[in-house]
């Protein structure tokens, strides 16, 4: 398993699914740059504390359980397709994200808008 794939797998399974938000400081760089599409495109640098706050709020609000559909990559870039189920309601979302990993830590994430439902 490549370095990038392993880091992203840990990000999903340990930080999100297991709720180990404390691992942000181990798995993610400071800052992580989030790249979002749009007009204008947005680029947001987030410190460890900002990442922890964002993920903690997301877990409290949405209570997601992620399933990795596809996770492929090399030692720097990993591509993830995922499905998530809100544990409290059963609502489902799916999405795709690209991660850059340097020195074993996630440094950048490119996000596409999420969709309701699951991948076909």
What pTM was computed for the model? 0.95
Please, what's the b/e burial string for 36-74 (b: 16 or more CB within 10 A of its CB; e: otherwise)?
Answer: eeeeeeeeeebeeebbbebbeeeeeebebebeeeebebe
Q: Return the sign of the alpha-carbon dihedral for residues 72, 27, 90, 92.
A: negative
Calculated CA dihedral for residues 67, 7, 43, 37, nearest 10 degrees: -40
CATH number of the structural domain spanning residue 63:
3.10.450.50
| Structural domains counted in the chain | 1
The tens-digit pLDDT sequence of the chain (120 residues) is 999 999 999 999 999 999 999 999 999 999 999 999 987 879 999 999 999 999 999 999 999 999 999 999 999 999 999 999 999 999 999 999 999 999 999 999 999 999 999 998
The residue range of the domain holding 32 is 3-116
């Amino acid at each position: 398993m490549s370095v990038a794939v392993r880091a992203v797998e840990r990000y999903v399974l340990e930080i999100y699914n297991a709720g180990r938000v404390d691992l942000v400081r181990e798995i993610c760089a400071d800052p992580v740059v989030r790249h979002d599409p749009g007009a204008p495109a947005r680029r947001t640098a987030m410190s460890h504390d900002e990442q922890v706050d964002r993920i903690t709020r997301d877990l409290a609000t949405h209570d997601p359980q992620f399933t990795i559909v596809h996770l492929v990559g090399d030692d720097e870039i990993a591509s993830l397709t995922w499905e998530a189920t809100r544990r409290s309601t059963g609502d489902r979302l799916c999405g795709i994200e690209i991660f850059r990993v340097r020195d074993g830590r996630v440094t950048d994430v490119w996000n596409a808008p999420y969709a309701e439902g699951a991948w076909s």
